[in-house]
Amino acid sequence: MPHVITQSCCSDASCVYACPVNCIHPTPDEPDFHTAQMLYVDPVECVDCGACVTACPVDAIKPHTKLTADEDVFATLNADFYATPRPRPILAPVVPPLEVRPGELRVAIVGSGPAAMYAAEEVLTIPGALVRIYERLTTPYGLARFGVAPDHQRTRGVTHQFDHVTANPRLQMRLGVEVGSEITHEDLLNEHHAVIYAVGASTDRRLDIDGIDLPGVSSATEFVAWYNGHPDHADRTFDLSSPRAVIVGNGNVALDVARLLTMDPDRLAGTDIAAHALEALRHSAIEEVVVVGRRGIEQSAFTVPELVGLCSTPGVDVVVRNEDLRALPDSDPRAAILRAAPRGAGNRRVVLEYLLSPTAILGDCAAEGVEFVHNELIAAPDGSTRVKSTGLQRVIEAGLVLTSIGYRGRPVPGLPFDDATATVPHQGGRVPGVRGAFVTGWIKRGPTGFIGTNKSCAQETVRSLVADYNAGLLA
């Protein structure tokens, strides 16, 4: 195979448009783009030109001859994606350039995370357009800076692409300004034709069980913000004095946290981890992290690339029960990855547990454990499965309990809000009923996708904005 996409893929599709033979899929116009765990190079169609390597903002693409031992699995993953032929045109879809009527389009963007930066990049493709970004914090780039694990250096490299965007003289960035309190939507419209809200999903879904407010219980996203030096969490402390931690939920964030809690702190010393977090981890007594999912192993929320990263962490054993492993078909790449995970004497452990739902956090003055109830999977007539409690209980002792069951958006002052989806209702990015208001990113579509997924999302929103501008609807 000439070229291979690896673990750090951000799915922004820059490589798709750079490829001269359309051998990277899924493309943004294909139905599985928003659910794919990464992008894949077709080993048969690739002509080894290397254009994708230059286009990738996170250095995720390599010639197959340069893969490390830990990355060899990605050669198989890329090839397996094309085991079933995909009908497709010879060339990738062409994105037509944005064209605007005469005038100087001025756009305000609220937030500075990936969704905001991709929206700014898209607006700035219009000659003469001006962008002003408003960010509450004094440091930009949102989850690209404060949400990516510090040892994922290549993924964090997407911020270099954002640096090129902010270097554009037609972009201004106002840091330390909170829209909604210090400045209003109407204030922004006095100086701009439109306002794009890219405020993300900044809170956690709450686990509503007894004991959730005990000391020693927090959310995994707060823990991530703490070790990444987020200013809102710099003064937090976490009790790492017990030998075991429990993480409720098994998405990518959960695996990131489990890896950081168990890996050798010396391997983090050269990364962007906050100094206070590194010092705390050096004195941590945690030897085992139990990551718990309410459904079966086949419904694991983490991606295959994230699992590869965990299983290749030196000094960390990844443990799964044999009965859970047997539930995975041999064709599932996770089965081979977990079976091949190395074991070492004296290693710390990450234990993946399944079919358990938390019912209470136990402890008098602080968390001492989690009470779970066992589940079973029941087949539905349509072929899907649902979870049913068996009534059997189990307690896992732990002094640190982190919940990782998803992000949730917050209401934006002056905009409608759908409490069920925790998003702002929209039509192609337009906010109905609010003059000049648009949304992009997680506040638009919910907390789904990867860093680069925000690029196609922003393109849709900006094209709606330009259409309204050209129609004279944005004063």
Query: What does 226-249 look like in DSSP terms, one character per residue?
Result: HHTT-GGGTT------SSEEEEE-
pLDDT of 92 strictly over 80: no
Q: Is the pLDDT of residue 394 over 90?
A: yes
For residue 66, which of 154, 151, 153, 4 has the smallest C-alpha distance? 4
**For the stretch 86-95, what's the b/e string if a residue is b when 16 or more beta carbons lie within 10 angstroms of its beta carbon?**
eebeeebeee
d(CA 268, CA 316): 14
What's residue 351's pLDDT?
Answer: 97
Question: What dotted CATH number matches 3-82?
Answer: 3.30.70.20
CATH code of the region 106-202+409-471: 3.40.50.720
Calpha distance 330→467 (Å, rounded) = 50
Pairing of strands 369-379, 356-362: antiparallel
Q: Where are the domains of the chain?
A: 3-82, 106-202+409-471, 216-403
**Per-residue pLDDT tens for 352-393?**
999 999 999 999 999 999 999 999 989 878 878 889 999 999
Q: Give dist(CA 473, CA 345) in Å, integer.
A: 67
CA nearest to 235, candidates 225, 244, 248: 225
**Residue 135's beta-bridge partner residues?**
175
According to CATH, what is the number of the domain 216-403? 3.50.50.60
Q: For the segment 246-264, what is each residue's pLDDT rounded down to a tens digit?
A: 999 999 999 999 999 999 9
Question: pLDDT value at position 346?
Answer: 85
Which DSSP category does 337 fall into?
A: H
> Mean pLDDT, to the nearest integer, of 212-227?
96
94: pLDDT strictly greater than 80: no
Determine the pLDDT at residue 468.
Answer: 96
What pLDDT shows up at residue 405?
A: 93
Transcribe 114-183 into DSSP letters. Answer: HHHHHHHHHHTTSTT-EEEEEESSSS--HHHHHTS-TT-HHHHTHHHHHHHHHTSTTEEEEET--BTTTB
Task: Convert the pLDDT of each residue in 23-61 to its tens digit.
Answer: 999 998 898 998 899 999 999 999 999 999 999 999 999
Indicate whether 322 pLDDT > 70.
Answer: yes
416 phi/psi in degrees, rounded to 5: -65, 160
Average pLDDT, the chain: 93
Confidence of residue 161 (pLDDT cuts 50, 70, 90): very high
Give pLDDT, residue 40.
96
Q: What is the pLDDT of residue 29?
A: 86
Q: ∠228-459-451 over CA atoms, to 5°? A: 20
Cβ(155)–Cβ(58) under 8 Å? yes
Please tell me the distance from the alpha carbon of residue 407 to that of residue 200, in angstroms, as a whole number. Answer: 9
The two three-digit tokens of residue 38, written as one number: 């990464």
Residues of the chain with pLDDT > 70: what percent? 100
**φ/ψ bin of 410: left (φ > 0), alpha (ψ from -120 to 50), beta (otherwise):** beta
| Region 65-79 average pLDDT | 91
With a cut of 60, say whether residue 1 has pLDDT above it.
no
Q: Are 41 and 81 in contact (CB under 8 A)?
A: no
Closest CA to 411 of 443, 449, 457, 448: 443
Residues in a beta bridge with 376: 388
* 397-450 pLDDT, tens digit each: 999 999 999 899 999 999 999 999 999 999 999 999 999 999 999 999 999 888
pLDDT in tens, 166-209: 999 999 999 999 998 889 999 999 999 999 999 999 888 889 99
What number is the average pLDDT over the span 307-329?
A: 94
